Structure 1
Amino acid sequence: MSDPHPSRPDREDKRTFLQKLAEFIHPGPDSTDELIETLVDAEQNNIIGAESRQMLEGVLRMADMTAGDVMVPTTRMDLVDIGEPMDSLLRGVIDAGHSRFPVFEGDRENIIGILLAKDLLKLYRAPEHNIRAMLRPAVFVPESKWLNDLLTDFRGNRNHLAVVIDEFGRVAGLVTIEDVLEEIVGEIEDEFDIADDEGDIFSLADRTYRVSGDTTIERVDEAFKVKLIGSDPEDEFDTIGGLIAHEMGHVPKRGERFTLAGLNFVVMHTKGGAVKWFKVSPVVDETP
């Protein structure tokens, strides 16, 4: 005899993610902070994943942020001087390692356009071209520009970099689409980021070396045949980035230089308050 009340298979939950989230937070929080707390509860109740919660939290926080909150300040901007000799200009572009550079003429405040590093390759195919002809229009935004609006502009006009202007019309810094997106998705790896197993010291075409800030001091000693010791021998450091920062007495900034144990260290790239890459070369003895 058949079962008059056969068991029914569990129905598939066809609610969308947003429907689940809306039902969970109903009737809704009264502030952004409460909404963020609700998202944490949703994660703990397995309604959303950790990455989804972090991204949603980033979107909420970004709504209250401006270009001035995430910009690279003018003191740390890598600019290109339109009047600089080509060889020197190319070295600066290669050392900085960015894909886009604001270009100025005369005064650093006089930004006349944006140079894409890839456009410099055209000079090898057509040497008659000049840098000025390659410049893209520069986009200027106020420090008070909301990040939500800035992201919309980036998507709409296909620009990936904007120069930030303060209330007096002076250059305050620059902001990229990566800076904005990192507020949502967290740190984005770039061309300087490599996996731990891909190496830490690389030779460059100009006979200098690119050295990761996370490289151990022992590894640097071995590679360059030196003995790196700080000003206080009792201080112990594991990485070259930690040692150089300690010796300089502050968090190194891009472009800063320091000499130690017969080696010149130039900060190529920083991220999160730490040096990601140094450019290293032996000190040249100019004594006749």
Structure 2
Amino acid sequence: MGQVADGSNSAAAAPASEAEAGESSNEPQPRGFFGRILGALGASPGEAGPAEAQSAATAAAPLGLPGLGNLRKMRVGDVAVPKAEIVAVPVTTPRDELVEVFRTQGYSRLPVFKDTLDSPMGLVHLKDLALAHGFGGAPGRFSLRKLLRPLLYVPPSMPIGVLLQKMQLQRIHMALVIDEYGGVDGLVTLEDLIEQVIGEIEDEHDEEEDGLWKLEKPGQWLVQARTPLTDFEAEIGMKLADAEEGAEIDTLGGLVFMQIDRVPTRGEVIVAENGVEFEVVDADPRRVKRLRVRLPGVAAE
């Protein structure tokens, strides 16, 4: 969740050079987990090893489901956070305001820009801020510019497997997606890419859930979007989907998606025909994660 930019490189020129560098086969291949993933990417057409067989097996899976096949068939533009949802800070941000952004947003990396996001300068890492100005560090004059780390710049058409390889080799875990005019179009992190292979990753800072739903007050629940629809209907004692909808969807998140025919945004409230309200508590550009469900009587209050 951070971006880096080298002041000597322009955002407009970066995508071409980054794409060329990402396809180079001269770099050493990392071992372990990343080595196995990158090995699946590097197999030549004439080779028929286990990695290729697994990639072929997953290639038939629907787009969006986790699997090694996504490394080849998905593009950066498919997984990037839209520009409107990027949390970034100007290079003139004072220390206390920067700390507050880290605290409220919960990210470990933030893009830093000059004037507008279309003029990125790099990323700031929470660890660098803490080591330089926390833990009893020297109270010298704060300069965000001195904390900047570099960013990757990539085109939306780049396969996510190529970007994953670039991030691993260059040890840069955040990239800005640059459009054809040189402007910033989105943001991608290493975690975003890995989730396309192994599924959603939750760290120690993600809110823990005792179950699939939690009763907040009578008639109102906080529910994970993957909750089976029939189970939650039994919990609340009413039907949320008709017979036709119930035959096509399995989860509460799927019901919300079907009602508006798109992925809703965080904070959006969808009101069903039966008066039930679905408030999107947590979501990213590709899926809903958590919902707040209010029954008609509670919604009216």
CA 1:37–1:168 in structure 2 vs 1: closer, same or farther (change >3 Å)? closer
When residues 275 and 185 of structure 1 are mapped into structure 2, their CA distance, relative to the original with a 3 A threshold, is closer
Q: Give the secondary-structure state (helix, strand or coil) at the position aligned to 1:121.
A: helix
Q: Using a 3 Å threshold, how does the CA distance of structure 1 residues 219 and 154 change in structure 2: closer, same or farther?
A: farther
Q: Is the 8 A contact 2:75 2:158 kept in 1?
A: yes
Note the C-alpha offset of 1:35.
4.3
Paired with 1:150 and 1:118, the residues of 2 have a C-alpha distance of: 24
Q: What SS is found at the alignment partner of 1:184?
A: helix
> Are 2:146 and 1:127 equivalent residues in the alignment?
no
Structure 1 residue 274 corresponds to structure 2 residue 288: yes
8 Å contact from structure 2 (residues 93, 144) kept in 1: no
Matched residues in 2 for 1:61 and 1:191: separation?
26
Name 2:215's counterpart in structure 1.
Answer: 216
Q: Structure 1: how far apart are the matches of 2:102 and 2:291? A: 15
Residue equivalent to 2:24: none
Query: How much has 1:273 moved relative to structure 2?
Result: 3.6
CA–CA distance in structure 2, aligned partners of residues 101 and 90 of structure 1 = 11
Over the aligned positions, Cα root-mean-square deviation in angstroms equals 4.3
Alpha-carbon distance in structure 2 between the residues aligned to 1:192 and 1:82: 27
SS at 1:150 equivalent: helix
Using the TM superposition, give the Cα deviation of residue 219 of structure 1 relative to its aligned residue in structure 2, in angstroms: 8.1
CA contact (8 A) 2:72 2:160 kept: yes
2:187 to 168, 171, 174: 174
Tell me which residue corresponds to 2:272: none
Change (3 A) 1:39 1:167: closer
Taking structure 1 as the reference length, the TM-score comes to: 0.54
Q: Which residue of 2 aligns with 1:44?
A: none
1:140 pairs, out of 128, 150, 153, with 153
CA–CA distance in structure 2, aligned partners of residues 138 and 126 of structure 1: 27
Please show how residues 7-156 of structure 1 align to structure 2 within 5 Å: 35-36=56-57, 58-122=67-131, 123-124=133-134, 125-128=137-140, 129-156=142-169
Paired AA for residue 166 in structure 1 = D
Instruction: Answer yes or no: is 1:189 the counterpart of 2:202.
Output: yes
In structure 1, the residue matched to 2:245 is none
1:39-94 CA-partner distances (Å, limit 9, x unpaired):
99xxxxxxxxxxxxx86xx1123211111111111111110122233322221111
CA contact (8 A) 2:150 2:172 kept: no
Could you list the runs of 5+ residues in structure 1 that have no partner in the other structure? Answer: 1-26, 41-53, 199-212, 222-234, 259-266, 279-288
Aligned sequence identity (%): 31
Structure 2: tracts of 5 or more residues without a match: 1-47, 221-237, 241-252, 254-258, 270-279, 293-301
Letter in 1 for 2:97: S
Shift of 1:37: 8.0
CA drift at 1:275: 5.7
Question: What's the secondary structure of 1:113's corresponding residue?
Answer: strand
Q: How many residues align?
A: 194
Question: Following TM superposition, by how much is the alpha carbon of 1:127 offset from its aligned partner in structure 2, in angstroms?
Answer: 2.4
On the 8 A contact 1:166/1:172 being kept in 2, the answer is yes
TM-score (norm: length of structure 2): 0.52
In 2, distance between residues paired with 1:96 and 1:276?
17
Q: Which protein is bigger by CA-based radius of gyration?
A: 1
Kindly state the Cα deviation for residue 192 of structure 1 after the two structures are TM-superposed: 3.9
Question: 8 Å contact 1:81–1:89 — kept in the other structure?
Answer: no
SS in 2 for 1:59: coil
Matches within 5 A, 1:221-236: none
Relative to 1, partners in 2 of residues 1:80 and 1:215: Cα closer, same or farther, differing over 3 Å? farther
Residues in 1 aligned to 2:60 and 2:268: alpha-carbon distance in whole angstroms:
45
1:277 Cα deviation from its structure 2 partner: 9.8
